[in-house]
Chain A
Amino acid sequence: MTAIAIDSQPKSVSPTRLRFRDSFRRHPTAIVGGVVLLLMILIAIFAPWLGTIDPQAVSPIRRLKPPSGEFWFGSDMLGRDVYSRVLYGARVSLAVGIAVALLSTLIGLAIGLVTGFIRWLDAIVMRIMDGLMSIPPVLLAIALMALTRASVENVIAAITLAEVPRVVRLVRSLVLTLREQPYVEAAVAAGTTMPRILLRHILPNTVAPLLVQATFVCASAMITEALLSFIGAGTPPNIPSWGNIMAEARSLFQIAGYLILFPGIFLSLTVLAVNLLGDGMRDALDPRLARRM
């Protein structure tokens, strides 16, 4: 009885969720992006069970074989299975993309929140950020990678450092707008402490724009990782990543184009998926921007 009664009740959906869902319906590309991204994440997680062999297993007799029933994506100059390497490569790209998005958002948020409220610190920090932003991000990441040992962790750190100033700028501009809002002034007048104002009144309002920014950071981080690996300053060669596979195939391009084609397609598709998702989220979370961008 009670079960039926509950079922017959109209489900209450918050207006925000309704708007969100509605916007997604109007932006089917965002759904496509989300599905493709989810697929890539599943591929990365379940790579060992998707008909792959050891991505590092060399087989010199069977090197540079074009795609076939045995090697779905062909084999490279050491006879390694490109299909396995590409699937395992998804792990590096996604790990770097997601880690950089998370880290740079959190670090940028912390710095941006504090500088937005402490005036004397603001001047100093923003000059440093201006300086960092004047170094093209790829170049800064290259310089940092040249300083350190090649490893996935260092790639993440280098790209994060290059991305942080842009997040700080965004957070700071949000904070500067938000602190002029009447409800913040009211909180100040009521004697609320600054940490509490930051956490309760400012922080929640930065979430939506930051979420959108994070997806774009994720997309650009994946491209930068591939780019660093491609020029030999990124993920070490013993870990298969899309950039690495393409870097190793550079000199073989004319005879074995598939070596670049498959990782290239996977990389482009993943970045495209993240970008579509980001565009969709921006439109859904900020309808005013939707018309403009």
Chain B
Amino acid sequence: MFAYVVRRLGATIVVMAVVAFVVFSLLYLTPGDPAAILAGDAATDDDILRIRAKLGLDEPFFVRFGGWVWALLHGDLGTSIFTNLPVAHLIGQRIEPTVALTVCTLLISVAVAVPLGVIAAAKVGTWVDRAVMAFSVLGFSVPVFVLAYVLIGTFSISLDWLPVQGYRPLREGVWEWFRHMVLPSTVLGIEYIALIARITRASILDVLAQDYVRTAQAKGLSSRAVLLGHALKNAAVPIVTIIGIGIALLIGGAIVTETVFAIPGVGRLTVDAILRRDYPIIQGVILIFSGAYVLINLAVDLSYMYFDPRIRY
């Protein structure tokens, strides 16, 4: 068990190093000279050279990469070109709505998708199964922002049940927070639900064909007990894997969802940074999101030991 954990941790560190390298290379390849941008229009060539030397931009690639990683390990994500504020500070300011949105979506999605998949598998071939699968294909096909506008048009404008846009922090009241979270979470969750439901169904169907399921049925267990007691736990490894991998969908989708619903989160920060070409922010956001993604998937890997004890070795 210890060996498995160490191996997974080692692999995670390698992956994070590669991510850091890729992200740094992106900035390195950036067209345009940050020194020239910082110096402004009236700067002379000498000014630009001076700024470049001050920022260490004239050092060779690997020296800069080393310095950048060293700063990163101390929590320094660089400085925004436009606001001149530390990127870590800017992201910190915006992180709450994004975490609230993704965690909310994650919980709702898993709570909806896994039962959907189990039911579809239990009733394979019936209209229930077909309905779930049809919903799943639709979920993959309707882009987040199209669905967002359809739902805003229906529930916020026509029916006037929910707010059109915006975000209320949790500390200003759970109810208002919840009302502002319903539509964004639903919109963001649909594709994720479609994905998890599909894999859950496939995985349960696989397990239901196993000998031990037939044994369980033969000894007279109810189909409910077979499904929940035997099938679900044995089908869990692919399901938790896809829940982990699917986080990538949530992260990409969160950027768009925040744009549509005017939620002041990290996604909005990213979109603003793109429009202003504020590379350090883009870099910081990619690092934070990728780091979170890698760590969640590490947790998923470690959870295999619970679901399938054979994996420990």
Contacts and interface: CB of A to CB of B under 8 A. Distances in A.
Given A131-B18, A134-B294, A231-B271, A139 B149 contact: no
9 closest Cβ contacts across the A-B interface? A131-B18, A138-B252, A264-B146, A272-B141, A136-B248, A271-B141, A136-B251, A292-B202, A268-B142
A158 B163 CA distance: 35
Contacts of B14: 127, 130
Contacts, number: 143
7 contacts: A130-B15, A227-B145, A227-B256, A246-B145, A257-B153, A267-B146, A268-B141
Contacts of B149: 253, 257, 260-261, 264
Contacts of A275: 137, 140-141
A268 B146 contact: yes
A188 interface: no
B205 interface: yes
What does DSSP make chain B's interface, helix, strand, loop or mixed? helix
B282 A230 contact: no
Interface residues of B, number: 59
A146 B233 CA distance: 44
Nearest to A224: B252
Given A142-B282, A147-B30, A137 B141 contact: no
Given A146-B274, A230-B259, A136 B293 contact: yes
A145 interface: yes
B153 A223 contact: no
B289 A232 contact: no
B206 A135 contact: no
Interface in A114-133: 127-128, 130-132
Nearest to A222: B143
Interface stretch (B19-27, B54-62, B67-75): B19-27
Interface of A: 127-128, 130-132, 134-140, 142-148, 219, 223, 226-227, 230-233, 246, 250, 253-254, 257, 260-261, 264, 267-268, 271-272, 275-276, 279, 291-293
A136 B250 CA distance: 9
Nearest to B245: A133
Nearest to B276: A146
B146 A135 contact: no
A219 B140 contact: yes
A264 B277 CA distance: 28
Contacts of A226: 143, 145
A279 B136 CA distance: 12
A272 B157 CA distance: 27
A147 B248 contact: no
Contacts of B187: none
B33 to A, nearest CB: 14
